[in-house]
């Protein structure tokens, strides 16, 4: 099964307009005080890219922002929403280094200046076998990478999350080797689907979802979509990644959504949609999370069971 993109999907198809407008009014009046928003606010929702609008029902904003994996704030699904208000997201800078022609420290405002900011509806599939459908706001990672001029020897892109244990309480534990690290092959990073996201549901990115800037790679399990990025490095060798270092038997470097490759402790053949309750009917997991038509060619000839 694959996703079918449509130019006809509207918010009114998935969320009653009155509820959506009411939510926006509530958020405008209250979320800033709760510390949920980061960076310059979006006056209007950027235009939707019709090519990337899946027909699946959008996950409710409250579920998207209250059910998260962000171990920097705790291991519970509700810990990020409870504790992320402690994070300072302005000013924000991202260091770019390695095999690039224009290394440096880029302010968040400079990163998003002049980019093609747009809304894309992507599905996020977690390795724990739950999923949600999110209207992300962002721009293609390739736009930024082209700006910093990758050099000929660059084959991978490495990312790091902010390390600030005085604000990110989960980093005070020794559960993971901080800071959180992830990586992609350069061709994966340059793929049109790979997004640097700065918001969702027409609002700036909530802190618990990775403010002010995070990665979204929709055909891979959610932990590949690193949050609160402070460093992007172009390198020649495959970079070390946090969960692969922590448990290599369970979390491979590629981590493509693959219903045929079970996690050692559970099946990946089905998933639970967030918002439907613990006893909601499970649905079949789709190869590459439904994006096979777009990305399968990246792995032509590769054994996707061995290279998990």
Q: Which domain holds residue 64?
A: 11-299
- Cα gap 251→245, rounded to integer Å: 8
The pLDDT value given to residue 281? 82
The pLDDT value given to residue 175? 86
Task: Work out the burial of residue 109: count CB atoms within 10 Å of its CB; fewer than 13 is exposed, 13-18 middle, 19 or more buried.
Answer: middle
Residue 107 lies in a domain: yes
Residue 254 lies in a domain: yes
The pLDDT value given to residue 277? 74
Token look-up 């736009």 returns 143
What sign has the CA pseudo-torsion 224, 225, 229, 231?
Answer: positive
Q: What is the mean pLDDT of each run of 10 residues along the chain (308 residues)?
A: 34 41 44 40 77 91 98 97 98 98 98 95 96 98 98 98 98 94 98 98 97 98 98 98 96 97 96 85 95 98 96
Residue 268 lies in a domain: yes
The pLDDT value given to residue 192? 98
- Cα gap 131→289, rounded to integer Å: 10
Q: Which residues contact 53 (CB under 8 A, 6 or more apart)?
A: 5, 6, 7, 9, 120, 121
H/E run at residue 204: strand 203-204
Give the CATH number, domain containing residue 39: 3.90.420.10
- Cα gap 181→159, rounded to integer Å: 6
Residue 286 lies in a domain: yes
Angle subtended at Cα 124 by Cα 214 and Cα 107, rounded to the nearest 5 degrees: 10
| Number of domains composing the chain | 1
Residue 182 lies in a domain: yes
Buried-state track 67-87, b at ≥16 Cβ within 10 A, e below 16: bbbbbbbbeeeebbbebbeeb
Angle subtended at Cα 167 by Cα 124 and Cα 60, rounded to the nearest 5 degrees: 30
Query: pTM score > 0.85 for this model?
Result: yes
Residue 308 lies in a domain: no
Residue 58 lies in a domain: yes
Residue 129 lies in a domain: yes
The pLDDT value given to residue 3? 32
């Amino acid at each position: 099964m694959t996703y079918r993109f449509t130019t006809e999907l509207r918010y009114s198809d998935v969320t009653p307009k009155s509820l959506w407008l009411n939510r926006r009014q509530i958020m405008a009046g209250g979320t800033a005080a709760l510390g949920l928003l980061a960076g310059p606010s979006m006056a209007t929702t950027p235009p939707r890219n019709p090519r990337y609008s899946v027909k699946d029902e959008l996950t409710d904003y409250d579920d998207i922002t209250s059910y998260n994996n962000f171990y920097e704030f705790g291991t519970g699904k509700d810990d990020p929403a409870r504790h992320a208000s402690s994070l300072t997201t302005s000013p924000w800078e991202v260091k770019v280094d390695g095999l690039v022609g224009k290394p440096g420290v880029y302010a968040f405002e400079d990163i998003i200046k002049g980019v093609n900011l747009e809304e894309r509806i992507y599905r996020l599939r977690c390795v724990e076998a739950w999923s949600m459908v999110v209207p992300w706001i962002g721009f293609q990672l390739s736009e930024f990478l082209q700006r910093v001029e990758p050099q000929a020897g660059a084959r991978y892109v490495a990312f790091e999350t902010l390390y600030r244990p005085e604000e990110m309480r989960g980093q005070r534990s020794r559960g993971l080797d901080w800071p959180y690290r992830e990586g992609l092959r350069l061709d994966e990073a340059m793929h049109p689907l790979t997004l640097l996201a700065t918001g969702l549901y027409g609002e700036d990115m909530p802190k618990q979802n990775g403010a002010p800037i995070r990665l979204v790679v929709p055909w891979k399990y959610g932990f590949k979509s690193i949050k609160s990025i402070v460093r992007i490095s172009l390198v020649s060798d495959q970079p070390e990644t946090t969960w692969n270092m922590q448990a290599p038997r369970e979390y491979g470097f590629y981590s493509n959504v693959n219903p045929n490759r079970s996690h050692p402790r559970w099946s990946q053949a089905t998933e639970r949609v967030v918002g439907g309750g613990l006893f909601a009917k499970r649905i079949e997991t789709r190869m590459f999370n439904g994006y096979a038509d777009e990305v399968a060619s990246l792995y032509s000839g590769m054994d996707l069971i061995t290279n998990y």
